[in-house]
Amino acid sequence: MSEFIDKLMSKDRPLWQRLLLWLVIIFLLFNTVGVALFFVFEIFGRYFSKLFVLILAGATLAIPIWRWHLKNVLQTWGNPSVSVFTRREDPATGGYLFDVQPARATRTPAIFLFAVGVFFLFSFILISSVWFYILSLIFIGVGCSFVLPGARYRKPTRVSVSKQGIEGNDFSLPLASIAEIKVVHNGLVVAEDPIMPGPNGVSVSSMLGRHWGHRQAERDYCVEIRAEGNSEPYVLAGGLTLDCATALVEDMNKAIDEVSQTLFV
């Protein structure tokens, strides 16, 4: 093969013949290898562009679901609109177990906004139009603004009260170290006592209802517990209605008192 090329490009040939042979070789390479590379890049370009669209669409759904705790909202979507808890004796520890089920997040108008946002997102996957993606971001983002407040703690919780202490999903405290258990709403302590003294005083719970005048605010109460010597509280349960949160604090304080009395017997 090398001898054939050497003879073909021999210096004994005139210059115009060698140039002509080089042009023929370049023409053949362009019409074979060049066309083949064009189709390869075209196929892979379409593949990678579609892959990028799928990754972008997946990230658009994954970030609010896992990073912003939207999964808690989806997991409790079928719960009643009122939170509930049950207290039962725990034979293993001789104390009590509290099982708390949060209220579901408000479904309207979030369900409509999510449906439209997902529709535009699938349209973006099929058509790859950036305008469909922008519209999906708008609708999904507005829908998240209705259900994401309080989503981090909107999940079922089990709290154990025993001689060993009080244990929740993310904490464990000795009974002697407990300073207070309280109902809060977005960091604001909820109490029925008037903020301002006098006949026209307004309670915190009434103020919350006026300030967050929608159904989602009625399902965003949390119960927090704080240890002595520590200003940072732990969240016992979240996504609660006010009546359930208040009753949970009362029953838990009673359980702590009952268990504490057995320590001195």
Query: Quick one: 54 and 176 in the same domain?
Result: no
Regarding whether 249 and 186 lie in a shared domain, the answer is yes
Provide the residue type at 245 as one letter.
A
Residue 134 belongs to some domain of the structure: no
Does 207 or 100 have the greater pLDDT score? 100
Q: What CATH number does residue 231 fall under?
A: 2.30.29
- At residue 148, the 3 state secondary structure works out as coil
Residue 7 falls inside a structural domain: yes
Q: Are residues 158 and 228 in the same domain?
A: yes
pLDDT tens, position by position, 114-147: 999 999 999 988 888 889 999 999 999 999 988 8
Query: What integer is the mean pLDDT of 79-98?
Result: 93
Domain region containing 30 = 2-67
Residues 203, 258, single domain; the answer is: yes
Note whether residue 115 is domain-resident.
Answer: no
Pair 16, 89 in one domain = no
Same domain, 217 and 257: yes
Helix axes 130-147 and 35-62, enclosed angle (nearest 10): 20
In this structure, the answer to whether residues 181 and 89 fall within a common structural domain is yes
Tokens of 216: 């989602």
The Cα 238–Cα 184 span in angstroms is 9
Q: How far apart are CA 106 and CA 247, in angstroms?
A: 22
Q: Are strands 172-173 and 178-185 parallel, antiparallel or unpaired?
A: unpaired
Does residue 97 form part of some domain?
A: yes
* Separation CA 149–CA 154 (nearest Å): 9
Q: What is the pLDDT of residues 18-60, one digit of tens each?
A: 666 667 666 666 666 656 656 655 666 667 777 788 888 888 8
How many domains are there within the chain?
Answer: 2
* pLDDT attached to residue 55: 86
Q: Residue 64's closest CA among 145, 178, 167, 170?
A: 145
What pLDDT is stored for residue 5 in this prediction? Answer: 54
Question: At 131, which helix (H) or strand (E)?
Answer: helix 130-147
Q: Which of 194, 191, 159 is nearest to 175 (CA)?
A: 159
98 plus 194 within the same structural domain: yes
pLDDT of residue 214: 56
93 shares a domain with 220: yes
The Cα–Cα gap between 142 and 125 comes to 21
